Amino acid sequence: MPAVHEKLCDLLLTDATVLTVDDHRTIHRPGTVAVTGNRISAVGPQAEMADWQGETVLDCTGKAVLPGLVDGHNHLYQALARGLGEGLSIVPWLCDFMWPYSIAVQGADAVAAARLAAAEALRHGTTTVVDNHYAPTDLETTLAVADVVERTGLRGAIARGIVGPRTEIAAQRGQPEELFRYSTADELAITREAVQHRPPGSRVEVWPAPLNLTYVDQDLVRRSIELARELGTSWHAHCCEGRSDPQSYLDAYRSRPVQWLAEAGLLDQRATLAHAIWLDETEVEQVAEADARVVHNPTSNAYLASGTLALAELRERGVAVGLGTDGPSCGHRQDLFECMKQSVLAQRSVTLDPTAMRAQDALDLATRDGARCAGIDAGVLEAGRLADLIVVDLDRPHLQPLHDVVSTLVYAARGSDVVVTVVDGEIVQRDGRCLRVDEASAVAEARERAELLLHRAGMTHLLR
């Protein structure tokens, strides 16, 4: 009998239902995943990987192993306002609730909120988060938020919200002057220094993020994008989330937001446009031609009654569309399983077509396509990729009997079914406990700061 030459790795996940989400959407039943350092060494059927030995071995019998989920648009600092803002559409939600809250947030509040929200994300299978942080955005707080996100174990980017001077559109919408704290020069200088501290390739990067294409000054948007190009980062922006956004822009500039970006030569593959609900057909084509990315936030969009993304039209043209939770006070629960399900339901509801979107499409958005949006070499389980993956317990009453694993994960699973979260080859959450975070301390601090913050913001009337 020929000798069996053992292959060694740091982490070995065995006897799993392995959803690779590769180009062929291969599923191994049972399968094995081997991890060495921060990369996947091998993935395959159990029988073909019997010679692998791991320093740490996880028996994943009755469990699914799949790529870690990518949250492409979040606002972690909003975690201290969870559950508030009920029954408002996007503009009043911002003007009557979120802006007063944001103005009152202090740096230590933002860090405490980010720590709590990051722990929640890891528990629910998120391995990468793009945090569109915009309160407060001084250099110290921006870097402190990046630090705490990385310390919890997440990968991602802090998309520093840039607002600059108050524009006419902002004034017409009733956005308070206190929001506009920095000049154009200061916004760009702070962002530049933040990116230099956390450049491309960092586990948690910093990106320029002109906060909203509708009401941020055009020159500041242009210069933010030029800064991203100079420093080699992606850039991030809210785009046409509200139904009135395109018309407001037309009234002010005689152009639609994406149309202006495209015609000005600013729309590019570095762009990640959050929401992008109210694009016309020309703008959809322009997004595709520029190879720009879009982040879909289906749960948030439904909560605020903002509308439904033209998802099929974008994907048919090859646009990478990821998923976002839009933060703990709009999506309320940072659960990309919920967002996957909602993305399917929204498309079927608006088209009245049950084939408009399927479970596999939703899983793609949360994994491989989300990774494209975030610019990371993850989202697929195959040799050489970053070892960001999760383990889901399938032996739970609401997931049985198991007939179609993809449909079950998208329609029946919850974030709380994730029993292991691996980021960069390290187990950072296991059995509902984040291994890098003192969760009791994070919760206690968040409660204390939330109470003080809501009093400071004059928002205690919202409590009940």
Domain spans, the chain: 7-67+380-434, 69-374
The CATH T-level fold of domain 7-67+380-434 is Urease, subunit C; domain 1 (2.30.40)
141-174 residue pLDDT tens: 999 999 999 999 999 999 999 999 999 999 998 8
Residue 168's φ and ψ, nearest 5 degrees, are -65, -40
The answer on pLDDT for 397 being more than 70 is: yes
pLDDT at 5: 67
198-219 residue pLDDT tens: 999 999 999 999 999 999 999 9
pLDDT at 282: 98
Q: Average pLDDT, whole number, for the chain?
A: 96
pLDDT at 4: 55
pLDDT at 250: 97
Dihedral sign computed on CA atoms, order 73, 79, 84, 85 = negative
CA angle 436, 438, 439 (to 5 degrees): 110
The answer on pLDDT for 30 being more than 60 is: yes
The answer on pLDDT for 79 being more than 70 is: yes
The CATH T-level fold of domain 69-374 is TIM Barrel (3.20.20)
pLDDT at 1: 38
The answer on pLDDT for 190 being more than 90 is: yes
274-286 residue pLDDT tens: 999 999 999 999 9
Strand 155-162 relative to strand 204-210, pairing? parallel
416-460 residue pLDDT tens: 999 999 999 999 999 999 999 999 999 999 999 999 999 999 888
pLDDT at 463: 83
The answer on pLDDT for 2 being more than 50 is: no
d(CA 204, CA 336): 20
Q: pLDDT-based confidence at 3, cuts 50/70/90?
A: very low
